[in-house]
């Protein structure tokens, strides 16, 4: 089987594989197939310029694919969001205390922009916060938000 592939697998097979993967990417929009497709096209171009063995082509394709995925996760992720359960929130979200919060007690806060779909939240703090104190999010703990003064 390998012998059949090494004799019959040509450079344009890699290009077609790359185009098929890029087409799949257009329908899924995950950006995973983008790296795999571009890697396959690059292998096809390398095979035209400098013919190499099938084993080397597959190894190069795997290396280029893993490299593209690593680059995607390293540089393309949004660093301003923190994960909290099913949703994202920004630690830069500011708000104001509406009901006084005592140390480790609960109070009501209102944020300038919605946090997880709501602007008014029950909050806790590790310090005393008087009414109308400007606050920021420290952490979201389920239905309770921990805040601190700015």
Of 75, 105, 125, the residue that ends a domain is 75
91: left (phi over 0), alpha (psi -120 to 50) or beta: alpha
State whether 90 and 105 are in the same domain.
Answer: yes
Q: How confident is the model at residue 86 (pLDDT cuts 50, 70, 90)?
A: very low
Q: Quick check: 84 pLDDT over 50?
A: no
DSSP letters for the chain? -HHHHHHH--HHHHHHHHHHHHHHHHHH--SHHHHHHHHHHHHHHHHHHS---HHHHHHHHHHHHHHHHHHHHHHSS-TT-EEETTEEE-TT-EEEESS-B-TT-EEEEEEEEEETTEEEEEEEESS-B-TT-EEEEEEEETTEEEEEE-
**95 and 34 fall within a common domain:** no
Q: What is the CATH number of the domain that holds 120?
A: 2.40.50.140
- pLDDT mean over 12-16: 92
Instruction: Indicate whether 54 and 70 sit together in one domain.
Output: yes
The more confidently predicted of residues 70 and 32 is 70
30 vs 62, more confident: 62
Q: How confident is the model at residue 7 (pLDDT cuts 50, 70, 90)?
A: low
Q: What total number of domains does the chain contain?
A: 2
Q: In this model, does residue 5 exceed pLDDT 70?
A: no
51 lies in which domain range? 2-75
Same domain for 90 and 39: no
- pLDDT above 60: residue 85: no
């Amino acid at each position: 089987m390998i012998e059949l592939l090494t004799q019959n697998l040509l450079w344009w097979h890699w290009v077609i594989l790359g185009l098929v993967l890029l087409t799949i990417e257009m329908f899924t929009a995950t950006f995973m197939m983008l790296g795999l497709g571009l890697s396959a096209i690059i292998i096809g171009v390398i095979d035209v310029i400098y013919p190499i063995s099938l084993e080397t082509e597959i190894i190069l394709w795997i290396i280029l694919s893993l490299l593209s995925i690593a680059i995607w996760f390293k540089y393309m992720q949004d660093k301003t969001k923190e994960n909290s359960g099913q949703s994202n929130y920004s630690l830069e979200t500011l708000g104001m205390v509406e009901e006084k919060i005592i140390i480790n007690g609960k109070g009501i806060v209102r944020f300038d922009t919605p946090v997880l779909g709501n602007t008014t939240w029950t909050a806790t703090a590790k310090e005393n916060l008087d009414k109308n104190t400007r606050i920021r999010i420290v952490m979201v703990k389920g239905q309770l938000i921990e805040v601190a003064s700015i």
